[in-house]
Structure 1
């Protein structure tokens, strides 16, 4: 378990993390999300004792990281997959970590097989592709068979097969009762992998909830309605908390009403419906909505050749 209490980190006059409190519990993959500059990397560095908090504290399994007698058995981390000796083979990189931390040599072969690097284990890591480097970084994190994993962007550089592999691996590790904290910018992948979310912006907590609750609470949902009597139905559905949009003739996008309620209104007024489909917002849409005011760097809007919004 990872517990942060009023965690704050300042660099001179700049505050990277401010009064941040959260708990990452075992048994579920927890996604750690936020825009660029939100303070995710700083927070993970404080979890691992690489940066000292300016105020507050963070513990892993009840202790500060540095207080664990065998840290690699408690916490496996990958903050930078390329933090390796490029002249060493993957095998000898892992062997050096094992020998210096009291981990049996046999564990090196185990993690090499877990991450699928057996065929290149004796090759120099400096020649690895980005995806192979990610696998080696994950192998390093798993080396001590830790109870807690902290991974920063673990799917970067992986092909579709590799992404599916890491997704299944993380979920299986969580199912074993481990604590798994994963930072990623890939919302579509987080929607498939994570069960819980911690979202921060400008160093402050925005949300600490399940993926389902985050999506439902942030972006709401809509209902797609298709009918030949769209304009009459639009008038019937109108209300102070109801929004009805239409970009295509005969098709309405309704927010603020359930599909059951829309269906009853249509039936009461003898309006035939060709489609009545609830549409749940995506994690990406919810994330963009909730973090809109916490984005540190914003790109200008995309326009066409005449300067109109694209």
Structure 2
């Protein structure tokens, strides 16, 4: 379990994390979301004792990370996959960590096989692709068989098979009762992986809720309608909170009404419907809508080249 209480970090005039309070519980994959500059990486560094909070506290399994006598057995972390000596092989990188943390040698072979690096275990890490480096970083996080796993952007550089593997791995770790805390910018993948979300913006907590509850609260529902008489139908779909727009194929997108309400309105007007489909916005859409005011670095709108 990870428990942050009024966690704050200031770098000079910059307030990176602003009194964050949250709990990451075992048995769930908890996604950590926020725009660039929201304070996610700083928060993870404070969890792992790499940065000292300006105020507040964070405990991992009941203690500050630095107070654990064998931290690698308590917390496995991936913050930067490339933080490995490029001249050292994957095997010897893991073996050195194992020997200095009282971990049996056979565990090195176990995690190398588990992450799919058996064929390149004797290759120098400096020659690894980004995806291979990510797998080695995850192997490092799993080496001590920890109760808590903290991963920052573990999907970077992975192909489709690798992404599916990480998804299954995280869910299996949570199913074993471990605490799994993971950040990612891949919203569609997070929607498939996480059961709980912690969302931050400009260093502040925006949401701490289950995935299903988050989507119910923040995802917008729209209805796609096709009919031979779209303009006639529009006249019967009016109201202060109702929006109707045309799609490229002349179908209508309607927000503010349910499929039942649209179907009844069309039936009363004698208009035949060819399609009536409820559509829900994605986690990405819900996230952007929720964090729009918390985006620190926003690109300018660029027009098409002439």
**Map 1:92-131 → 2, pairs under 5 A:** 92-131=92-131
Quote the Cα distance in structure 2 between the aligned partners of 1:269 and 1:211: 39
What's the counterpart of residue 51 of structure 2? Answer: 51
Cα displacement (A) at 1:248 = 4.1
**Map 1:26-45 → 2, pairs under 5 A:** 26-45=26-45
For 2:235, what is the secondary structure of its paired residue? helix
| Moved beyond 3 Å, runs of 4+ | 247-250
Normalized against structure 1, the TM-score is what?
Answer: 0.95
What's the counterpart of residue 146 of structure 2? Answer: 146
Cα displacement (A) at 1:249 = 6.5
Q: Does 2:204 match 1:235? A: no
**Map 1:124-273 → 2, pairs under 5 A:** 124-248=124-248, 250-273=250-273
Per-residue Cα deviation, 1:184-241 (whole angstroms, up to 9, x for no partner): 1111211121121111110001111222332332231101011122222222221112
The alignment's C-alpha RMSD in Å is 1.3
Q: Which moved more, 1:175-184 or 1:188-197?
A: 188-197
Q: Which moved more, 1:208-217 or 1:108-117?
A: 208-217
What's the counterpart of residue 283 of structure 2? Answer: 283
Per-residue Cα deviation, 1:41-99 (whole angstroms, up to 9, x for no partner): 00000111111111111111111111112111111000001111211111110010011
Contiguous gaps of at least 5 residues in structure 1:
none
What's the counterpart of residue 2 of structure 1? Answer: 2
What's the counterpart of residue 61 of structure 1? Answer: 61
Quote the Cα distance in structure 1 between the aligned partners of 2:22 and 2:270: 52
Quote the Cα distance in structure 2 between the aligned partners of 1:143 and 1:250: 56
1:222–1:256 contact (8 Å) kept in structure 2: yes
Normalized against structure 2, the TM-score is what?
Answer: 0.97
Quote the Cα distance in structure 2 between the aligned partners of 1:195 and 1:242: 32
Corresponding pairs, count:
306
Q: Which moved more, 1:215-224 or 1:107-116?
A: 215-224
C-alpha change, 1:216 and 1:303, in structure 2 (3 Å) is farther
For 2:84, what is the secondary structure of its paired residue? coil
Quote the Cα distance in structure 2 between the aligned partners of 1:85 and 1:171: 30
Q: Does 2:84 match 1:84? A: yes
1:229–1:250 contact (8 Å) kept in structure 2: no
1:216–1:281 contact (8 Å) kept in structure 2: no
1:222–1:279 contact (8 Å) kept in structure 2: yes
Cα displacement (A) at 1:130 = 0.8
Cα displacement (A) at 1:166 = 0.8
